[in-house]
Amino acid sequence: MRTKLVSLFFQNMSEIPSKYYTLSKVAASLQSVIRREYSQYYWIKAEISRLNFYPKSGHCYPDLVEKDHAKVLAQMRAIIWSRDYFRINADFVKKTGRALDDGMEILFKAKLEYSPTHGFSLMIVDVSAEFVLGKMALDKKLTLERLKTEGLYYRNKEVKFPVLPQRIAIISVDTSKGFHDFINIIDNNTRGYKFFWMLFPALLQGDGAVQSIIQQLQQIKSVQHHFDMVAIIRGGGGDVGLSCYDHYDLSSEVANFPIPVISGIGHSTNETLVEMVAHYNPITPTDLAYFLQQKFDNLAVGIEEIQQAILAYSKDSLLEKNNQLSDFSRIINSETLSIMEYQANRLSRFGHIVQHSSLLLLEKQRSKLDLFIYNMRANSSRLILEGPQKVVSLENRLKQSVVSLVHKNEKDIKHFEEKIQLMKPENLLKKGYSLTLFAGKPISSTNSLKEGDILQTQLFEGKIESKITKIRKK
C-alpha cells in the first residue's frame, strides 16, 4: 500500500507545469505595464457614488461609477491624497458654492495606478469646477423652463402684498448673522413701527436644506392666517451652498405659496431660482428689513400728505365759510333793517285802519244793540199778556192727546191677549191638533227615528203610545 502511494505521488509530480509565475511577479508585471502604457494623466468623467473622506488623515477614497440609467457600466476606486483633497475641495467650493459630495457627477484629472497589495486605483489630482458649474447651469436652465411651462414662475409675484406687512414668518436659524441683522433693524427702528415675527428654524444650505425649508413652508401654510408674509433669511457665507435654492421642489413650493414669500439669501452673483420666483428679492436680510420699514414709511408719508391736504382744505374752507358768513351777516343786517322799517310802516298803517274800523264797528254794534233792546221790551210786554191763554190751550190739547193714546194702547193690548190665548197648546189641542213626542222631546224630523221606536202622542184629553212600523222620508 505504501509503495502504491509513493508511485502515485511521482506520477502527479510529472504532470505539474515546469514553468509558472508567482502572484507577486504577475502583480509586478502588471504594475510595470500600467506604468509604461498609462504614464500620463487623463481627464475622466464619472459619478461619485460614495466620497469616503476620512477627516483624521485628510485622505479621500471615492468610489466611482458610470451608469446608463440604473445599469452600472463601470466602477472603480480612486484616491485623493490629503495634500490634494483640501486644495481641490477649497477651489471647488469657491467656484461652485458646493463641496464634493456623494451623487455628484464630476470631471477629474487622474493617473491610473496599480499596487500589488491594493490593486487598481485612480489617483485624482484635480477636479474641474467648470464642468460642474456647466452642469449646474444646464440643470438650472431646464428647471427654470419647467417652472415657466407649468405657470409657476409668476404665481407668487401675483399674490397681493399687504399694505402693512406686520406679521412675519421667518425661515432661518438663530445663529445666522443675517437673521440677527434683520431682527435688530425691525425691532429697533427709530420710527416706532411694531412688527410681530416668529422663527421657523431650518437648514439653509447643503443637501438637507431643500427638505428642511419645504417642511417649514408647509408648517407655515397650516397657520398662514396668522401671517402676512414669509421671509427666507440666510445672510453671510457668500455664495457657498446656494445650489439648494435652484432645486425644483423648493422653487415650486415657494412659487405656489399662498402668501407672499420674500427672499433675503444674501449674495450678489446670479439669482437663484427661489429668488426668481419669490414675490420680491431684496438680496440681503438688511435690505429686506429696510424694504418692510419702507412700506410703513410710504404709508406714513401718504397719511401725512393726506393730513396736510385735509388741514389745508379745512383752512381754506373755514376761511371761505368765514367770508361767506361775514357777507351773509351784512346782508342779513341790511335786509333785517329794511324789513323792520317796512313792517313798522305797515303796522302804523294797519293801526290807523284798525282804529278807524273799530270805531265804525262799535258804532254799528251800538245801533244794533239799541234796536235789540227796543224789540226785547216790546216783545216782553206782548208775551206777558198772551202767556196765560197759550198755557191753558196747550194743557187742553195735551189732555186730549193722552186720553186718545190710552184708548189706543188698551185696544192693542186686548188684541195681543187674544192672539196669545189662541197660541196656547191646550187651545190648539182642543181644535183637534196633537203633539208627537219621542223620548219626551217634540219631533220635527224623521232623521232621528227608526222602525220599532215608541212614540207618545199628546191629545187634548189623554195620550197615545204607538210603535213605528214604517218610515217614509220626505
Q: Using the predicted structure, report yes or no on whether residue 258 has a pLDDT greater than 60.
A: yes
Domains of the chain and CATH, by start: 22-127 (2.40.50.140), 139-298 (3.40.50.2300), 428-467 (no CATH)
Q: Using the predicted structure, report yes or no on whether residue 215 has a pLDDT greater than 90.
A: yes
Q: Using the predicted structure, report yes or no on whether residue 231 has a pLDDT greater than 90.
A: yes
pLDDT band for 6, please (50, 70, 90 cuts): low
Per-residue pLDDT tens for 261-301?
Answer: 998 887 656 788 999 999 988 878 888 888 888 888 887 66
- Distances in Å between the Cα of 110 and the Cα atoms of 2, 27, 56, 218, 235 are 61, 21, 23, 45, 37
In the chain, pLDDT over 70 holds for what percent of residues? 90
**Residue 202 backbone dihedrals phi, psi, to 5 degrees:** -155, 160
Rounded to whole angstroms, the Cα distance separating 360 from 150 reads 109
Q: Using the predicted structure, report yes or no on whether residue 302 has a pLDDT greater than 70.
A: no
Q: What is the pLDDT of residue 192?
A: 80
- Distances in Å between the Cα of 420 and the Cα atoms of 165, 267, 415 are 107, 129, 9
Q: Using the predicted structure, report yes or no on whether residue 376 has a pLDDT greater than 90.
A: no
The residue that leads in pLDDT, 91 or 386, is 91
The overall average pLDDT reported for the chain is 83
Rounded to whole angstroms, the Cα distance separating 261 from 278 reads 5
Of the listed ranges 132-136, 182-186, 190-194, the least confidently predicted one is 132-136
Grid coordinates of 235: 445672510
Q: Using the predicted structure, report yes or no on whether residue 409 has a pLDDT greater than 60.
A: yes
Note the pTM of the prediction, 2 decimals.
0.50
Q: What is the pLDDT of residue 60?
A: 94
The residue that leads in pLDDT, 2 or 41, is 41
Of the listed ranges 182-186, 236-240, 462-466, the least confidently predicted one is 236-240
Q: What is the pLDDT of residue 87?
A: 93
**Overall average pLDDT of the 109-130 stretch:** 86
Q: Using the predicted structure, report yes or no on whether residue 88 has a pLDDT greater than 60.
A: yes
Grid coordinates of 284: 440681503
Q: What is the pLDDT of residue 15?
A: 66
Rounded to whole angstroms, the Cα distance separating 321 from 327 reads 10
Q: What is the pLDDT of residue 352?
A: 81
pLDDT band for 207, please (50, 70, 90 cuts): low
pLDDT band for 147, please (50, 70, 90 cuts): very high
Tell me which residue of 90, 21, 103, 116 sits closest to 63, measured CA to CA: 103
**Overall average pLDDT of the 356-370 stretch:** 83
pLDDT band for 305, please (50, 70, 90 cuts): low
**Overall average pLDDT of the 359-378 stretch:** 82
CA Rg value for the chain: 65
